[in-house]
Structure 1
Amino acid sequence: MSTNKKYFFTCKDYTVSDENFDLVYNAEFEMLETFPQPKEEDLGNYYESEEYISHTDSNKSMLDKVYQIVKKDTLNKKVKLINSFKTKNRNLLDVGCGTGDFLLNCKNNGWSVVGVEPNDNAKNNAKSKLGANKDSVIYSELSKIKSEKFDVITLWHVLEHVPNLEVYISNLKCLLKPNGVLVIAVPNFKSYDANYYKQFWAAFDVPRHLWHFSKKSIQLLFLKDKMNVVKILPMYFDSFYVSLLSEKYKTGTTNFMKAFYIGLLSNLKALRTKEYSSLIYILKNT
């Protein structure tokens, strides 16, 4: 990464450690980076929490219930998007597959699926849902996949978590077939809700989120490996869920009305700016 960086502000890890981390602006790629970044072997410690919901199917708290309701609707939209791609063999790799719900939905729609999930609990949960099947394998890391190539690779809120970002992007390129489709969903630090909540914005999620992207940064990072952004889609629900968490971080209470208002305002402003809380990038391999 470039050395052309400057201090942005400091965020707290509200989920696990209560430690503070700086965000620094990388002008070369128009993105933010978490500093200092935990050593790769220590990163797993920052995911060891029952509140890290993407690794569980928790439905206990009100926030859990909201997350699960939104997840069901979002899953249907994701599968509809994947089904719209014209591919020959319909084989898909989902990186950071969590508890396997997206993979299961794709499998039920005729896709041959492979997942990558480093968290053991989430991985075992996913395996139990998919069952023992040669067409639904889950690896612990991307490097374990040796000879396969895929029509579609998806990363739903995963790219912000990976160390060695540029190397990781090159590895994704190697796993994608010529003219294959790469789907990347990440938070957008230029959204209204990010600007409103600033250091309390839940989607900064330091230090689990190592990178914080803008539309320009995604285009620049992937262009280096000759992958082009062909379409950008909004994730409307993210502004509401992120605002709920952000209100909790900022005020100590879950203010549903205020969070709903900020989430709605963020989406309304994005109708003009196109800077939604989270964005889906469709990229084509060349």
Structure 2
Amino acid sequence: MKLFLRTKDFSVSGESFELHHDQKLDMLITKPQPEDLDRFYESETYISHTDSNNALFDRLYQWVKRYSISKKLQLIDNQIDKRKTLLDVGAGTGDFVKQANARGFVVEGIEPNGKARSNARQKGVILHPKLGDIADRKFQIITLWHVLEHLPNLNGQIENLNNLLEPNGVLFIAVPNFKSLDAAYYGKYWAAYDVPRHLWHFSKKAISKIIDNYGLKVIKVKPMLFDAFYVSLLSEKYKGNKLYWFNAFFIGLWSNISAFFSKEYSSHIYIIKKRD
């Protein structure tokens, strides 16, 4: 593996990390990978573990989250005939689980962070701390919305997910794409590297090759258009740019226009099924 980039944790610790390129899979790997990852999530500003709605940036995030949940559920409905069981891995504060349940799914959620589970509980959503709590279950739908990049022991995690999936089940995986224009533009400041919380950084080739080992196949790839703007906004803040709203809008727009031709969006949703 070759050194691809040196960057740092801009949001919590300020510590430095390296990204190494696995050329066979075409993916990046964060090095070193801390044994105690929990401390890198211990921040009041780690928004996916909170329901903060105080600052303008927080309100924007919450609005996009609500809109995105609706679009994700619509996407799921387009892939199935009848709503049955759904597992959401990395459920955060439980909003997607709550909405999926309201749509008629029998839903379970996994969230290892105690603070996020507590916030979910206040909404009436009970989440499990680990996959082992539901190891005897099978699910029609399994979702990981910007979660796979966080999980240690990548191959073991995919094997566990495959074992939990029904024979005709569908797996939805959303991850950032380090091949996007905004990733290239921001370099070490690209917020979606988010080291060391993001242990793996995927390309489309990497996702296909990794899941192929488990009899799974990508049947469709969908762009996440808002991600280019949100990631650009954070990246501009990391650069210390006072005009971050203005610049982020144009870089996000530029990235999406470029991706219309290259098909390399800031983030992708992979729709995955078991091979026949």
Partner of 2:18: 22
Cα displacement (A) at 1:130: 3.3
CA distance in 2, matches of 1:83, 1:123: 26
CA distance in 1, matches of 2:274, 2:81: 13
Query: Number of paired residues?
Result: 275
1:142 paired to 2:131: yes
- Choose the corresponding residue for 1:231, options 200, 220, 227: 220
Partner of 1:128: 122
CA distance in 2, matches of 1:34, 1:146: 29
1:87 touches 1:151 (CA, 8 Å); kept in 2?
A: no
CA distance in 1, matches of 2:185, 2:260: 17
TM-score (norm 2): 0.97
1:270 touches 1:276 (CA, 8 Å); kept in 2?
A: yes
- Choose the corresponding residue for 1:57, options 51, 61, 64: 51
Post-superposition CA distance 1:34-72 (Å, at most 9, x none): 000001xx1010000011100000112222111111111
Give the secondary-structure state (helix, strand or coil) at the position aligned to 2:79.
coil
Cα displacement (A) at 1:87: 4.8
The one-letter code of the counterpart of 1:274 is K
1:7 paired to 2:6: no
**Consecutive unaligned residues in structure 1, runs of 5 or more:** 132-136
- Choose the corresponding residue for 1:119, options 96, 113, 117: 113
CA distance in 2, matches of 1:88, 1:242: 35
Runs of 4 or more, structure 1, over 3 Å off, are none
CA distance in 1, matches of 2:91, 2:15: 27
CA distance in 1, matches of 2:136, 2:31: 35
Cα displacement (A) at 1:242: 0.4
1:67 paired to 2:61: yes
Q: CA RMSD in A?
A: 1.2
2:94 touches 2:127 (CA, 8 Å); kept in 1?
A: no
Give the secondary-structure state (helix, strand or coil) at the position aligned to 1:29.
coil
CA distance in 2, matches of 1:126, 1:91: 19
Cα displacement (A) at 1:127: 2.6
1:199 paired to 2:193: no
Partner of 1:134: none
The one-letter code of the counterpart of 1:73 is Y
CA 148–89 in structure 1, closer or farther in 2 if over 3 Å, else same:
farther
Instruction: Give the alignment of 1:42-121 within 5 angstroms.
Output: 42-88=36-82, 90-121=84-115
**Consecutive unaligned residues in structure 2, runs of 5 or more:** none
CA distance in 1, matches of 2:68, 2:74: 10
Cα displacement (A) at 1:254: 5.5
CA distance in 2, matches of 1:127, 1:84: 30
1:235 touches 1:280 (CA, 8 Å); kept in 2?
A: yes
- Choose the corresponding residue for 1:178, options 161, 167, 172: 167
TM-score (norm 1): 0.94
The one-letter code of the counterpart of 1:63 is F
CA 71–214 in structure 1, closer or farther in 2 if over 3 Å, else same:
same
1:244 touches 1:254 (CA, 8 Å); kept in 2?
A: no
- Choose the corresponding residue for 1:278, options 248, 260, 267: 267
1:156 touches 1:186 (CA, 8 Å); kept in 2?
A: yes
Cα displacement (A) at 1:256: 0.6
The one-letter code of the counterpart of 1:248 is K
- Choose the corresponding residue for 1:257, options 246, 249, 267: 246
